[in-house]
Structure 1
Amino acid sequence: MTSKPPSPWEQASIRTADTRKRENVDRRQEVAGARDEGFVPRRDAGNKPELRYYGLNAVQAVFAHRPDAIRKIYLLESRIPQLQPLLAWCVKQRIGYRVVEEADLGKLAASSHHEGVVADVLRVEPHSLPAWLQSLPAGPVLALWLDGVGNPHNFGAILRSAAHFGVSAILQSQASTLSVSGAAARVAEGGAEHVPLVRMQDREDALAGLRAAGFTLAATVVRGGQDLFSTALPQRLVYVMGAEGEGMDEELAQDCDLQLSIPGSGAVESLNVAAATAVFLAQWRHH
């Protein structure tokens, strides 16, 4: 009886010594080009920048929601069984993938938390505020305005909570440098594919446009705000979250319609911004 030929993903792990040597040279060249936080300085034919995602759920979420954004896959041999659908799709679409060693994958991801897979994917460009507002359905809508949040791990945790509680978008000022990175996408556990980013222009225009669309803006402050748990929350709401350490811009907080605080024991000054965001989102969803 003839033996069954190896599948494409099985072939990926069957390499001669010469082939392994050539691949090791190629990997060292690719690793040398990797940057921290998952940014890849290459661009496709459409001049769109790529990101280096890592983490099983982050990569599988890209495959589920926008597979055409995938440009290359690197994985450990132990991940082949779990990623067979993705690898089969790569073969069909002629997208490159490579089985690599643990140390190489860590260098490609610039992290030890790669969970056995790294993917080069196209970055999603933010929406404009007018375009996002025009796309909204009638009825309840929740959004987040991040004022100065800069830590990618906090951003990833916020994206995960936002996806869980059905946030429609994350709003950012024109000056914000925050974007989805490899680290943020991994912490988000797939949430980065569900919550669009919206780039605003002038602050006053943004406030006016949001209010015209029926939104109430609520500044989230450490102290001095209304008790979140005893305040009736509107159906169309934007929570404005302040930066790590510095908190919210005072002028922006005063421009909001509400100021809300999370009551606590007083043992610590406040919650981490990602933890606080989850509490605020859960309370709106509870209403």
Structure 2
Amino acid sequence: MKDRPEYTARKAFFDRVLTVFGRKPVLEALRSPQLSLHALHVADSNREDGVMAEILREATRRKLTVLRHTRTELARISRNGRQDQGIALDILCPAFARIEYYLQAPRSAPQRLLALDGITNPQNLGMIIRSAAAGNIDGILLAKRGNAALGPLVIKASAGTLYRAPVLFCESLPAALKACKAGGFTVCALRADATQSLFDYRPTGDCLYLLGNETDGVSAASDSLADTALSIPMRNGVESLNVAVTASLIAFCNSMGQQPA
């Protein structure tokens, strides 16, 4: 049974909404004219002075809908009741989507995706997002569980690029990898023991680069779906690079959109 068109459209809209929390992050977002805002959520237990008064003035200036909630309701919205400081803001991120919608859309040029398998450090995740958004990456495949939450630390590390980054959400990374393979993508896992160099690899069609956890690397479930493994050549006894540095090399290395010499 298919969902009604109105439900599908509403679901797609909220897939593009990122809820940020905390008074400083919310105030910074309200003062950013380039951001498209949906609604401000305020706990009715807040004292409306100091920074809260500034937040409410900015919301009025931007003619933003302000929704009042109990403290418990606000915690459910922010998903972080201990740190939300009684305030949350819905920001519309136009490049966010679910992976299934992305795969259903027509693609005219070869695509490059970056899949993140258990990136738990918020600073690493933010830096990866920043590099991917700046480089030749068409989408960042991110499971909703198993990676760091898209909260203030990730936003700060991404230097605000998270709001416009092409993040593609999935419930299960292995299931999403299978869907990408069925859609014509070649899956390349980055592994230290791989014999083929990232810098020598030339994808001929749609390609997905798979990055693993900071400590354990790519999970067994995801690695089993890889078509090939790539490594970054090391010198002077160095065993590996930080995962965010690796993401930067993928985003800007000579395999991106170039033909073999």
User: Is 2:126 the partner of 1:162?
Assistant: no
User: Is 2:243 the partner of 1:269?
Assistant: no
User: Is 2:183 the partner of 1:213?
Assistant: yes
Q: Which amino acid aligns with 1:259?
A: A
What does residue range 75-224 of structure 1 map to in structure 2 within 5 Å? 90-93=60-63, 120-122=88-90, 127-173=97-143, 175-194=145-164, 195-201=166-172, 203=174, 205-224=175-194
Corresponding residue number in structure 2 for 1:13: none
Shift in Å at residue 129 of structure 1?
A: 2.5
User: Is 2:236 the partner of 1:246?
Assistant: no
Q: 1:252 to 1:201 in 2, by over 3 A?
A: closer
**Separation (CA, whole Å) in 1 of partners of 2:139 and 2:110:** 13
In the superposition, the TM-score normalised over structure 2's length comes to 0.66
Corresponding residue number in structure 1 for 2:230: 260
Shift in Å at residue 166 of structure 1?
A: 4.4
Unmatched segments (≥5 aa) in structure 1: 1-45, 81-86, 97-109, 111-118
Q: 1:63 to 1:155 in 2, by over 3 A?
A: farther
**Separation (CA, whole Å) in 2 of partners of 1:269 and 1:137:** 37
Which residue, out of 227, 230, 244, partners 2:200?
230
* CA offsets 1:166-216 (integer angstroms, 9 cap, x no match): 43322234642533110100111121112223114472x433321232211
Secondary structure (helix, strand or coil) at the match of 1:240 reads strand
Corresponding residue number in structure 2 for 1:36: none
Corresponding residue number in structure 2 for 1:278: 248
Alignment check: 8 A CA contact 1:241 1:273 kept: yes
**Separation (CA, whole Å) in 2 of partners of 1:60 and 1:262:** 41
Which stretch of the first structure deviates more once superposed, 126-135 or 177-186? 126-135
What's the % identity of the aligned pairs? 23
Q: Which amino acid aligns with 1:197?
A: L
Shift in Å at residue 160 of structure 1?
A: 0.5
**Separation (CA, whole Å) in 2 of partners of 1:187 and 1:174:** 19
Secondary structure (helix, strand or coil) at the match of 1:67 reads strand
* CA offsets 1:56-81 (integer angstroms, 9 cap, x no match): 9x737964142335568x998xxx9x
How many correspondences in the alignment? Answer: 216
Corresponding residue number in structure 2 for 1:26: none
Alignment check: 8 A CA contact 1:216 1:257 kept: yes
What does residue range 6-45 of structure 1 map to in structure 2 within 5 Å? none
Corresponding residue number in structure 2 for 1:32: none
**Separation (CA, whole Å) in 2 of partners of 1:136 and 1:198:** 18
Corresponding residue number in structure 2 for 1:37: none
**Separation (CA, whole Å) in 2 of partners of 1:271 and 1:213:** 31
Alignment check: 8 A CA contact 1:165 1:285 kept: no
Unmatched segments (≥5 aa) in structure 2: 1-13, 43-48, 67-82
In the superposition, the TM-score normalised over structure 1's length comes to 0.61
**Separation (CA, whole Å) in 2 of partners of 1:166 and 1:187:** 19
Root-mean-square deviation (CA, aligned residues, Å) is 4.0
